[in-house]
Amino acid sequence: MSIPSPARASALPCLLILAVVAACFSISSQSLWMDEAETVIIVLPSTIHGCWLALRHDNTSCLQMPLYFAYLWAWGRCFGISELLLRASNLPWFFVGLFAIVHFLRRHITLRNVVLLIFCVHPFVLFYLNEVRSYAMDLAGAMLAAGALFEAMDRPDDTLPSSWWWCLGAGMFILCGATVIGVPWAAAIALLLVTLPNVRRSLGESLLPALVFIPLFILLGLYFAWTFKEDVRNAALPASLASMLSVYYELFGFLGLGPGRNDLRVNSISATPPYLIPLAMLGVPLAYGLLFAARRRFCLTSRQLITILLITSAVSGITFALGFLRHARMLARHFSPLFPFVLMAQAMAVLLLWKNGRLPGRIAAVLIVFALACSSIEVRLASRHAKDDIRSTAAAARQALAQGKTVWWAGSPDGARFYKLPIAFQETPGAARLIYGLPATFTAPPDEIIFSKPDIFDPNGTLAPFIAAHHYIPAGQWQSFTLWQKTP
């Protein structure tokens, strides 16, 4: 066992302080956006039974996130309901990820420090830390499970202790319980583990963890089987090659350096040319570093590298295929369990470039970390990356209703409810009319139309021509929303 030098030993407290600062910096009180509003509406009831009824009424993929909604409901009862407090519910999962890195890389101090550094500045981690969704929990489970896999592969001749089995079981259960998307990743990691002789030799240490986790996995499996029988609804957004590429664009940390998510949503790759220089600031040294590390097999044996590539590629391919078959757009957040492998690849690239000792390699290593940090800062502070501003838009709609105006609301119904905007599917005095495209019948054109995300709230393309034909003018603009006002 190597004893770390004082410089390396002192790095850990500094990195943990950086982690706390980065986590606190990332959590915001911005308006909830559409998916977050859906989540919060479900956990608003004061009883767990009420939360369950809200989940059943929602009947979307939220129904397949049982552990997350139980956790978030309990968090809300303990700490309260607000944008900031609910996003802070992700902090414990962030620190679970930190624990996984520190614990499973304890035999490799330098690598541990590099992985911690990149984890603390990575925009993929920090962006989803600021989301009231299950992805931070999903990532925490993946970090534990992937960390257990790394330790098992790193210690082929050792018997794995009972603590290893507890961490593996907890990671797998969190990964699967956070969202059903974690199940194939957990299965892939389990499949890889059973091929390792030291895992099979250590089965005697797994008895107590098995007694705890196997019944939980059986219950979880039965629950997921029931949800599939219920045929939960998914967002009907078409998958495409651009949406597939966006998965790796986010996973590797480019998000903050490029256009905003809404711009990418509308204009796809054509939105990126104005941002080519900052994107290249990360892309060029990262590509160089990954190629450099690949030539050294990321310090793995050929068999280990090929096995990991096959497993991760197979599960990714299955996930994309299911998206195409179910007409569901698979986004980077649905690939959170892949992130620990991306993180390790990026960390190994930085470490090998630095240890190479040559000036170009060290410059590339510094640029990778610097660009990732810049990407995280941009995601948090740049206006183009701000969340959908349902809060301000709902306030404008409430003001219009108070003035006796008629309002159509083509936006998130859950966001409207959370921000106290009265809505109804039919024309109702004192309420905004909730629409998905041009209504089949209406008494007269409304005074104001609030319009967001045409691919969701105007899927047939009927509302935009109506706005143009009746000469509505833009009277207000918020992130993802436009207020159209009838001309006098």
Domain ranges of the chain: 6-385, 390-485
**Would the pLDDT of 4 be above 80?**
no
**Would the pLDDT of 260 be above 50?**
yes
**Would the pLDDT of 1 be above 70?**
no
Residue with tokens 């369950």: 52
Q: How many Cβ atoms sit within 10 Å of the Cβ of residue 310?
A: 12
How far is it, in rounded angstroms, from Cα 480 to Cα 261?
10
Percentage of the chain modeled with pLDDT above 70 = 97
- Give per-residue pLDDT as tens, 161-206: 999 999 999 999 999 999 999 999 999 999 999 999 999 999 888 8
**Would the pLDDT of 265 be above 70?**
yes
Read off the tokens for 413. Answer: 């119904």
Quote the radius of gyration of the chain (alpha carbons, Å). 24
Q: What is the DSSP letter of 437?
A: S
Q: How confident is the model at residue 235 (pLDDT cuts 50, 70, 90)?
A: low
Mean pLDDT, range 428-456, rounded to an integer: 95
Q: Residue 224: is it exposed, middle or buried by C-beta count within 10 angstroms (0-12/13-18/19+)?
A: middle
Q: At what angle do helices 182-193 and 302-325 cross, to 10 degrees?
A: 160
Q: How confident is the model at residue 88 (pLDDT cuts 50, 70, 90)?
A: very high
Lowest mean pLDDT among 317-321, 324-328, 373-377: 324-328
- SS3 call for 282: helix
Q: How confident is the model at residue 5 (pLDDT cuts 50, 70, 90)?
A: very low
- Predicted local distance difference test score (pLDDT) of residue 322: 82
Cα torsion 8, 9, 15, 20 to 10°: value is: 180
What's phi and psi for 133, nearest 5 deg? -145, 180
**Would the pLDDT of 446 be above 80?**
yes
- Predicted local distance difference test score (pLDDT) of residue 238: 66
57 Rama sector, left if φ>0, alpha if ψ -120 to 50, beta otherwise: alpha
- Predicted local distance difference test score (pLDDT) of residue 331: 87
**Would the pLDDT of 287 be above 60?**
yes
